Amino acid sequence: MLESPTTDRRSARREGTKAEILDAAWALVREHGLAALSLRDLAARVGMRAPSLYQYFESKHAIYDAMFGQAAQESLDAIMGERPDGSTREAIGAVAHRMFDFATSDAVRAQLLFQRTIPGFEPSPATYAPAVELVARVRHLFSDHGIRTDTAFDLFRAVVGGLVNQQLANDPGGDQYGRLVDPSVDMFLAYVSPNKKGKK
């Protein structure tokens, strides 16, 4: 690759501006809702006019796609960036808590990641990749702890997802359902590996 210093600096600045636009987009959707993002508002917040955004993103959906990619990468880092160690109870409990905390700490991010609420938008395979990787890693962890059936794995995801749901729907911004994470993990483990019930 031959790249002049000028090109380097230019592309670095370009990436910086893209990041600035995305930050502003997150701020706006947290303020007015995911569907209410408008290019005029977004441009105004970064000190531009709307048409200038097209120098950085080819469409509004491309901005949503980039936001989705950031959120997916954050989920991978937050949940499986560090591999949880310790006993089965400790490792799986840690994953459950990380999932719950990640999903409930930013309702709009969760809406973008886990619901399909923007008409016509679907994340591209590239931006979706970290989400796939996350599932694969969690499954691997479960496998290392002897939980290998699809049923058990799906059940775990349903339980944690259910807690997140209730939290976001009934007590957004609160932590009312966080107290149910540990009981849920106990309930789950007692069901899928009853023989290890007494282990600490």
* 41 is a site residue for DNA (CB under 7 A): yes
Which residues from 51-110 bind DNA, rule CB under 7 A? 51-52, 54-55, 59-61
Euclidean distance between CA atoms 65 and 55, whole angstroms:
16
CB of 47 to DNA, least distance (A): 6
Euclidean distance between CA atoms 183 and 178, whole angstroms:
10
Partner whose binding site includes residue 142, from DNA, a copy of itself, none (CB under 5 to 8 Å by kind): none
> Buried b vs exposed e over 166-175: b needs ≥16 C-beta within 10 Å?
ebbeeeeeee
Partner whose binding site includes residue 114, from a copy of itself, DNA, none (CB under 5 to 8 Å by kind): a copy of itself
* 17 is a site residue for DNA (CB under 7 A): yes
Which residues from 8-67 bind a copy of itself, rule CB under 8 A? 33, 35-36
Among 26, 114, 121, 128, binds a copy of itself (CB under 8 A): 114
Q: State the DSSP string of 141-196.
A: HHHHTT---HHHHHHHHHHHHHHHHHHHHHSTTS-TTGGGHHHHHHHHHHHH-GGG
CB of 126 to DNA, least distance (A): 19
Euclidean distance between CA atoms 51 and 48, whole angstroms:
8
Closest Cα partner for 82 from 192, 196, 91? 91
CB of 33 to a copy of itself, least distance (A): 5
Partner whose binding site includes residue 165, from a copy of itself, DNA, none (CB under 5 to 8 Å by kind): a copy of itself
Partner whose binding site includes residue 161, from DNA, a copy of itself, none (CB under 5 to 8 Å by kind): a copy of itself
Partner whose binding site includes residue 61, from DNA, a copy of itself, none (CB under 5 to 8 Å by kind): DNA
| Helix residue ranges, H only, 33-124 | 39-45, 60-80, 88-104, 107-114
Among 44, 62, 129, 155, binds a copy of itself (CB under 8 A): 155
Structure tokens, 91: 């490792």
Instruction: Give the residues lining the site for DNA (CB under 7 A).
Output: 10, 13-14, 17, 36-41, 43, 47-52, 54-55, 59-61
